[in-house]
């Protein structure tokens, strides 16, 4: 029986060089293959044209390239693109290309499904099947970079980890993927153009700060009152706001990187004056800004976007208190590609 072939992209450059040396070839052959895999995003050994036929056959006998496949691409009337991405084991995740006049942002997934249970989020209804590997995250980014070049004539400019899954629950693989995205032998992107958005896992926010990461941090806050936050994000009962706040203060002290709070205002849930006051207080602990995000209903009728009047009051009071606030309109609603809508429905 043939031994199970290994995913070649799990190997570091040095491990690839060693593989060739052990098989009686030159170490630099490992560099060539590494370049094919990461810089040229090769999908097959056959396409590695500067290798001999024997070498390609030897690679084929020992390894596989578990590349993702964009199964379906949907385009929104506002230019947003949603990719349904099939993984080697036939599971599917989604990623989104969001164009503006000057930027192309990729919103990528980090897990198949999600282990958390935010009540307003479509992904929470999918059981968490597994974490994505670093290369599966990297491939989503490459696919969107290619689409950006093809449809918008420019490379991808920004990445947000805001697709399916809680990125900090897949900590090591997300960081490995970011290493590859930012390294010159990968896409060479600046970490300042990457934002990891978490629902707020205090221990791992501290770990990121200790690990000296250079990307930006966003937190899906949605309420600065424990009782309310727990009612819509039940894990808040374990990771309370005071723990979160302490971790964010630690993050800022170590990284000096301003935090973004993602915040949706829902009718009857967090649209009162006391909710705004609590948010203003929460923002005082570390330099931060607030993104008020338009909500996209997920057809259960429970969560409804608050009135414009309530949102205007948020903006006025935050600004009066010197807090930078942006109201973000949703993109790709017609193809279920907007924030909180990713649920493999297509």
Catalytically active residues, by annotation: 94, 339
Q: Does 108 bind ligand SF4 (CB under 6 A)?
A: no
Q: Does 141 bind ligand SF4 (CB under 6 A)?
A: no
Q: Does 166 bind ligand SF4 (CB under 6 A)?
A: yes
Residue 325 CB contacts under 8 Å (≥ 6 apart), including other chains? 289, 290, 291, 292, 314, 315, 318, 319
The distance of Cα 318 from the centroid of its chain, to the nearest Å, equals: 27
Nearest approach, Cβ of residue 138 and ligand SF4 (Å): 20
Out of 93, 114, 141, 175, the only residue in the binding site for ligand SF4 (CB under 6 A) is 114
CA atoms of 215 and 191, how far apart (whole Å): 5
Let me know: does 155 contact 191? Beta carbons within 8 Å. no
Considering the complex, state which of residue 81 and residue 160 has its C-beta at the smaller distance from ligand SF4: 160
CA atoms of 194 and 145, how far apart (whole Å): 14
CA atoms of 190 and 122, how far apart (whole Å): 31
Q: How far is CA 258 from CA 9, 64, 276, in A?
A: 34, 41, 20
Q: Does 126 bind ligand SF4 (CB under 6 A)?
A: no
Q: Which one of 68-76, 95-103, 121-129, 271-279 is the stretch in contact with ligand SF4 (CB under 6 A)?
A: 121-129
Q: Which one of 94-102, 112-120, 239-247, 283-291 is the stretch in contact with ligand SF4 (CB under 6 A)?
A: 112-120
Q: Does 121 bind ligand SF4 (CB under 6 A)?
A: yes
- Binding mask 211-250 toward ligand SF4 (x if CB under 6 A, else -) reads ---------x------------------------------
Considering the complex, state which of residue 11 and residue 293 has its C-beta at the smaller distance from ligand SF4: 293
- Binding mask 175-204 toward ligand SF4 (x if CB under 6 A, else -) reads ------------------------x-----
Q: Which of residues 18-47 bind ligand SF4 (CB under 6 A)?
A: none
Spell out a b/e string for 197-206, using b for 16 or more CB atoms within 10 Å of the CB, else e.
bbbbbbebbb
Out of 106, 108, 116, 311, the only residue in the binding site for ligand SF4 (CB under 6 A) is 116
Long-range CB pairs of 311-314 (<8 Å, 24+ gap) are 311/265, 313/273, 313/276, 314/265, 314/276, 314/279
CA atoms of 234 and 121, how far apart (whole Å): 12
Q: Does 8 bind ligand SF4 (CB under 6 A)?
A: no
Considering the complex, state which of residue 201 and residue 209 has its C-beta at the smaller distance from ligand SF4: 201
Let me know: does 56 contact 46? Beta carbons within 8 Å. yes
Let me know: does 111 contact 131? Beta carbons within 8 Å. yes
Nearest approach, Cβ of residue 164 and ligand SF4 (Å): 6
- The sign one gets for the Cα dihedral 204, 209, 214, 216 is positive
Residue ranges in contact with ligand SF4 by CB under 6 A: 114, 116, 118, 121, 123-124, 164-166, 199, 220
């Amino acid at each position: 029986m043939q031994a199970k072939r290994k995913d070649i992209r799990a190997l570091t450059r040095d491990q690839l060089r060693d593989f060739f040396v052990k098989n009686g070839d030159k170490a630099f052959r490992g560099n060539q293959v590494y370049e094919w895999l990461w810089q040229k995003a090769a999908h097959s050994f056959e396409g590695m044209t500067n290798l001999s036929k024997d070498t390609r056959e030897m690679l084929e006998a020992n390894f596989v390239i578990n590349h993702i496949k964009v199964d379906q691409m949907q385009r929104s009337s506002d230019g947003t693109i949603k990719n349904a991405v099939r993984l080697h084991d036939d599971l599917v995740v989604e990623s989104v290309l969001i164009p503006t006049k000057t930027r192309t942002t990729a919103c990528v997934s980090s897990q198949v499904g999600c282990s958390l249970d935010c009540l307003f989020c479509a992904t929470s209804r999918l059981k968490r099947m597994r974490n994505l590997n670093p290369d599966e995250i990297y491939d989503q980014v490459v696919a969107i970079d290619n689409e950006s070049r093809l449809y918008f004539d420019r490379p991808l400019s920004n990445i947000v980890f805001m697709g399916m899954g809680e990125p900090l629950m897949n900590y090591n693989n997300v960081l490995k993927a970011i290493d590859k995205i930012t390294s010159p032998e990968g896409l060479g992107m600046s970490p300042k153009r990457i934002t990891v958005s978490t629902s707020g896992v205090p221990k791992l926010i501290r770990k990121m700060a200790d690990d000296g990461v250079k990307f930006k941090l966003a937190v899906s806050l949605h309420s600065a009152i424990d009782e309310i936050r727990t009612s819509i994000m039940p894990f808040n009962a374990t990771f309370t706001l005071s723990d979160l706040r302490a971790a964010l203060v630690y993050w800022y002290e170590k990284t000096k990187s301003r935090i973004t709070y993602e915040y949706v205002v829902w009718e009857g849930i967090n649209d009162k004056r006391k909710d705004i006051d609590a948010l203003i207080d929460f923002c005082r602990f570390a330099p931060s800004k607030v993104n008020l995000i338009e909500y996209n209903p997920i057809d259960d009728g429970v969560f409804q976007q608050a009135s414009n009047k309530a949102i205007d009051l948020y903006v006025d009071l935050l600004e009066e208190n010197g807090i930078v606030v942006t109201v973000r309109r949703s993109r790709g609603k017609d193809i279920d590609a907007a924030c909180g809508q990713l649920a493999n429905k297509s």
